[in-house]
Amino acid sequence: MLAVIFPGQGSQAVGMGAALATKFPAARAVLAEVDEALSQNLSGLMRDGPTEELNLTSNAQPALMAASLAAFRVLQSEAGLDLARGVRVVAGHSLGEYSALAAAGSLSIRDAARLLRIRGDAMQRAVPVGAGAMAALLGLDREVAEEIAREAATGGEVCDVANDNGPGQVVVSGHKAAVERAVVIAQGRGARRAIMLSVSAPFHCGLMAPAAETMREALGGTILHAPAVPVVANVKAAPISDPDAIRAALVQQVTATVRWRESVVAMAALGIDRFVEVGAGKVLTGLVKRIATGSSAAAFGQPSDLDALRTVLEAGAHV
């Protein structure tokens, strides 16, 4: 069986989606739809940069969704991708969950773009610049990272596990001083590396509560449909299809841990042995290969990837 997965923030790069848009009308149509929804030439920023502007959270989040959906539509039009044939679930890392929902028809592309602009703005506003931080703790599992985060969160400060990305790859997030303490503690607990990350805000921690409330309001006024196939939600590491459950998960996701490792394990337990990452970069492809070692994973973001992906999709169609 096949799962289609969608990347999150950090995978963005100037030029993403440009080659697909040049060659395929289906990709151009998605980018035009996002530009119109946001009243912004986001596709031009994606194509030409500058990098600093693309990396702004309010731009990066809808841009990554646009690149993912452009690639997804090309797989549908050029490679015969059909969610009803052989695709068991979809999933996305953090903002990639919005891409997954749009691909599965739960959200319109316009609403996904609008919500991600609101989400990016709200996450950036939630914490004053410089007050928060994130750090990667490499070589430690989630349970140890949670102990470290609790120990680091002194004096009422926040330090939470933000991402459980894969074996030995956990990210903590919160007040800058607390995260810096977590780095020191992790170094004494046998971490292979513990490094501060260059991020604009402390995502997926309790400090994002104001952003979660903003998203609760925004999602409350948005129509969601049952997806064509279940989406494996970050906060549950399990497939969901009910629109109310999806809405609640998207609100919770703003402050909760991205349980990507557990999500991949859950997908493998459903019998999924092929993963296709759609959009910018190959970050999730690498993580999947480390987590579900008996599965295959491939990425699609360039026209040159198309022939290989046709083979993967044809295999999935006969499951």
CA torsion, points 262, 182, 286, 92, in degrees to nearest 10?
A: 50
Domains of the chain: 2-125+208-317 (3.40.366.10), 132-199 (3.30.70.250)
Q: Which residues are catalytic?
A: 94, 204
- Name the CA radius of gyration of the chain, rounded: 19
pLDDT class for 9, splitting at 50, 70, 90? very high
Cα–Cα dist 91/265, whole Å: 12
For the stretch 89-120, pLDDT in tens is 999 999 999 999 999 999 999 999 999 999 99
Task: Flag whether pLDDT at 34 surpasses 60.
Answer: yes
pLDDT for position 273: 94
As a whole number of angstroms, the distance between CA 314 and CA 5 comes to 17
What contacts 24+ positions apart, CB below 8 Å, involve 297-300? 298/274, 300/71, 300/74, 300/75, 300/276
Q: CB 52: neighbour CB atoms within 10 A?
A: 8
Arithmetic mean of pLDDT, 150-159: 97
Average pLDDT on 223-232 reads 98
Which burial class, exposed, middle or buried, applies to 189 when counting CB atoms under 10 A from its CB (0-12, 13-18, 19+)? middle
pLDDT exceeds 60 at position 318: no
Question: What's 165-197 look like in SS3?
Answer: EECCEEEEEEEHHHHHHHHHHHHHCCCCEEEEC
